[in-house]
């Protein structure tokens, strides 16, 4: 044993799962591993066999509104470990810029030069561990059993569709049409996975209404999300770990660039990823069995922009002003035919 490694990530679901990638090589190298994180997304680290201690911080535990003091807090903690890395801002502010950063306004060509590279390689490089990649989310035996039972209730053939990410550029405008076709033409149930917020709850309801109109009914459409303590599907409660565990059972996962998608990045099922502000290299360079779709740079010259859009004002809209131009440039036909090929085993 080489002593203790301390890894800090106080981010969203995807941030935490990307950071989780460094834990495997640290453990193989002989370190005891302490992960310092925060609620509510700390749950993605539960049952991870490469973690010896999970330290969950509250907002009041860290200096507030003082960046210098915040950094000093972590510098002081670093002395407690043999290896220590704060992975905050290892994706955001480095591979993509916030609106308050000067770089947000620089030429797109130069932003692409600055923001190139793989998110997951970056965290490995910061910590100084080899590029050893593998599953980053670990459901318990009970979670696996429940997910298997639920899949059986959905008919046993299921496509997981992640509704959206946390930002305005991470929702596919033509989701309702696409999902209706996947159900009707491919004969698979579609499980919509969403976060507990009004935007995604409304999107799931609109998808259900459209599928009903297009297919004549909503048979084969399911929702894995909880909105303000109420399950819109009327059957199940879907906290974060349950949704991620269910995704792991799907025969195919289709998603924009979201945290939920990172849970299946190194899992054996095929995946279709739709990237928006980020590049293919940023997100899916090391993913397995993944087809990555994006806008055509000739038609959508803003892609990839490497901008973290807080509101639609900084994002180029599609022609119908329904969503981001980059995602909307991916045709419904492309997604359906790619899904067909992947499910038939004729694409990689």
Which SS3 state, helix, strand or coil, does residue 6 take?
strand
Considering the domain architecture, whether residues 311 and 334 belong to the same structural domain is answered as: yes
Considering the domain architecture, whether residues 227 and 101 belong to the same structural domain is answered as: no
Query: Mean pLDDT, the chain, as a whole number?
Result: 93
CB neighbours (10 Å) of residue 232? 17
Considering the domain architecture, whether residues 229 and 258 belong to the same structural domain is answered as: yes
Considering the domain architecture, whether residues 44 and 105 belong to the same structural domain is answered as: yes
| Per-residue pLDDT tens over the stretch 223-270 | 998 655 444 444 457 899 999 999 999 999 999 999 999 999 999 999
Considering the domain architecture, whether residues 81 and 221 belong to the same structural domain is answered as: no
pLDDT over 90, % of the chain: 84
| Per-residue pLDDT tens over the stretch 16-62 | 999 999 999 999 999 999 999 999 999 999 999 999 999 999 888 89
Q: What pLDDT shows up at residue 138?
A: 98
The values of phi and psi at residue 205, to 5°, are -70, -40
Flag whether 348 is in a domain.
Answer: no
Q: Using the 8-state DSSP alphabet, how is residue 251 labeled?
A: S
| Per-residue pLDDT tens over the stretch 74-105 | 999 999 999 999 999 999 999 999 999 999 99
Nearest C-alpha neighbor of 211 from the set 249, 262, 175: 175
Residue 246 near residue 145, CB atoms below 8 Å: no
> Does 1 score more than 90 pLDDT?
no
Which residues touch 229 (CB under 8 Å, ≥6 apart)? Answer: none
Residue 1 or 323, more confident: 323
Domain coverage including residue 157: 141-343
Q: Point out which residues pair with 292 in neighbouring strands.
A: 273
In this structure, what CATH number is given to the domain that contains residue 62? 3.40.50
Average pLDDT over residues 186-195: 94
Q: What pLDDT shows up at residue 231?
A: 47
Tokens of 150: 């639920």
Tally of domains in the chain = 2
> Does 143 score more than 70 pLDDT?
yes
CB neighbours (10 Å) of residue 205? 13
Considering the domain architecture, whether residues 106 and 160 belong to the same structural domain is answered as: no
Considering the domain architecture, whether residues 77 and 214 belong to the same structural domain is answered as: no
Distances (CA, A) of 141 to 55, 245, 319: 23, 10, 47
In this structure, what CATH number is given to the domain that contains residue 295? 3.40.50.2000
What gap in Å lies between CA 348 and CA 346, rounded to an integer? 7
Confidence of residue 198 (pLDDT cuts 50, 70, 90): confident
Q: What pLDDT shows up at residue 168?
A: 87
CB neighbours (10 Å) of residue 309? 21
- Least-confidence region, from 188-192, 196-200, 248-252: 196-200
Q: Which of 103, 127, 151 is the last residue of a domain?
A: 127
Flag whether 319 is in a domain.
Answer: yes
Average pLDDT over residues 180-199: 92
Q: What pLDDT shows up at residue 346?
A: 59
Nearest C-alpha neighbor of 293 from the set 334, 240, 243: 334
Q: Point out which residues pair with 324 in neighbouring strands.
A: 317
> Does 197 score more than 50 pLDDT?
yes
Q: What pLDDT shows up at residue 320?
A: 84
**DSSP sequence for 42-92:** GGGGTT-TT-SEEEEEPGGGS--S-HHHHHHHHHHHHTT-SEEEE-TTSSB
Q: Point out which residues pair with 171 in neighbouring strands.
A: 164
Query: Helices (DSSP H) in the chain: which residue ranges?
Result: 13-19, 23-28, 67-78, 108-115, 119-127, 141-153, 175-186, 198-215, 240-247, 259-262, 280-284, 325-328, 332-343
| Per-residue pLDDT tens over the stretch 257-314 | 999 999 999 999 999 999 999 999 999 999 999 999 999 999 999 999 999 999 899 9
Residue 190 near residue 204, CB atoms below 8 Å: no
Q: What pLDDT shows up at residue 321?
A: 82
> Does 347 score more than 60 pLDDT?
no
Residue 116 or 202, more confident: 116
Q: What pLDDT shows up at residue 232?
A: 44
Residue 255 near residue 267, CB atoms below 8 Å: no
The values of phi and psi at residue 58, to 5°, are -100, 165
pLDDT over 70, % of the chain: 96
Residue 138 or 320, more confident: 138
Q: What pLDDT shows up at residue 177?
A: 97
Considering the domain architecture, whether residues 272 and 203 belong to the same structural domain is answered as: yes
What gap in Å lies between CA 294 and CA 280, rounded to an integer? 8
What gap in Å lies between CA 136 and CA 9, rounded to an integer? 14
């Amino acid at each position: 044993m080489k002593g203790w490694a301390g890894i800090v990530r106080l981010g969203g679901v995807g941030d935490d799962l990307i950071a989780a990638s460094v834990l495997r090589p640290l453990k193989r190298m002989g370190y005891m591993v302490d992960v310092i994180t925060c609620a509510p997304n700390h749950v993605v680290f539960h049952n991870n066999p490469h973690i010896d201690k999970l330290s969950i911080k509250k907002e009041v535990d860290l200096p507030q509104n003082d960046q210098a003091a915040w950094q000093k807090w972590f510098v002081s903690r670093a002395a407690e470990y043999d290896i220590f890395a704060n992975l905050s801002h290892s994706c955001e502010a480095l591979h993509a810029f916030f609106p308050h950063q000067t770089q947000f306004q620089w030429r797109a060509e130069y932003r692409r030069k600055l923001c190139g590279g793989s998110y997951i390689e970056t965290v490995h490089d910061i910590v100084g561990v080899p590029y050893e990649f593998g599953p980053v989310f670990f459901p318990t035996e009970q979670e696996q059993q429940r997910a298997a039972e639920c899949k059986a209730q959905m008919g046993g053939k299921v496509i997981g569709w992640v509704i959206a990410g946390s930002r305005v550029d991470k929702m596919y405008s033509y989701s309702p049409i696409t999902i209706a076709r996947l159900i009707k033409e491919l004969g698979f149930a579609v499980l919509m996975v969403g976060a507990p917020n009004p935007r995604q709850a409304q999107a799931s309801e609109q998808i259900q209404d459209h599928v009903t109109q297009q297919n004549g009914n909503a048979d084969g459409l399911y929702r894995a999300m909880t909105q303000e303590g109420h399950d819109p599907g009327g059957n199940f409660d879907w906290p974060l770990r349950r949704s991620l565990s269910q995704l792991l059972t799907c025969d195919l996962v289709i998603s924009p660039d979201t945290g939920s998608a990172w849970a299946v990045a190194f899992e054996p099922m095929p995946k279709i990823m739709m990237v928006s502000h980020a590049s293919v290299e940023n997100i899916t360079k090391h993913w397995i069995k993944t087809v990555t779709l994006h806008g055509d740079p000739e038609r959508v010259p803003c892609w990839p922009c490497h901008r973290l859009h807080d509101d639609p004002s900084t994002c180029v809209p599609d022609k119908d002003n329904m969503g981001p131009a980059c995602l909307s440039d991916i045709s419904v036909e492309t997604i359906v035919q790619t899904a067909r090929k992947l499910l038939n085993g004729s694409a990689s």
